[in-house]
């Protein structure tokens, strides 16, 4: 498998380490793969219907909310039960 280089622009969520199979490596140009992954990371779900698009958006929001709660738990040892928007508002508030 061939590793794909790191995305230069941040997306809506991290993609982690990216690999393609040998067949993909032989048939699709790296620039095309990179463009497709960048679109995906920015929340462009491609040619899907509105229900699938909405499901992807919901899944992304739920995963981010879970990740933020886990980070808070690791940092403080306390469970914080709040929505993603409440969490984002809280961390955007100036300290002090």
Same domain, 7 and 36: yes
**Residues 82, 57 share a domain:** yes
31 lies in the same domain as 55 = no
Tell me which residue range forms the domain holding 24.
2-41
| Residue 27 pLDDT grade (very low, low, confident, very high; cuts 50, 70, 90) | very high
5-23 average pLDDT score: 75
Residue 33, H or E segment:
helix 30-41
Q: How do residues 35-92 score in pLDDT, each as one tens digit?
A: 888 888 888 988 889 998 888 888 877 776 676 666 666 677 666 666 656 666 665 6
Residue 8 shares a structural domain with residue 31: yes
Tally of structural domains, the chain: 2
65: how many CB neighbours lie within 10 A of its CB? 17
Q: What is the CA radius of gyration of the chain?
A: 17
**What pTM was computed for the model?**
0.54
Residues 33 and 57 in one domain: no
């Amino acid at each position: 498998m061939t590793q794909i280089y790191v995305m230069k622009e941040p997306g809506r969520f991290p993609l982690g380490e990216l690999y393609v199979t040998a067949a993909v490596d032989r048939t699709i140009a790296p620039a095309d793969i990179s463009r497709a992954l960048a679109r995906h990371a920015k929340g462009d779900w491609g040619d899907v219907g509105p229900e699938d698009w909405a499901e992807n958006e919901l899944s992304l929001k739920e995963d981010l909310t879970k990740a933020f709660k886990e980070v808070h738990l690791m940092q403080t040892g306390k469970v914080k039960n709040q929505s993603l928007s409440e969490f984002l508002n809280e961390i955007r508030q100036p300290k002090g």
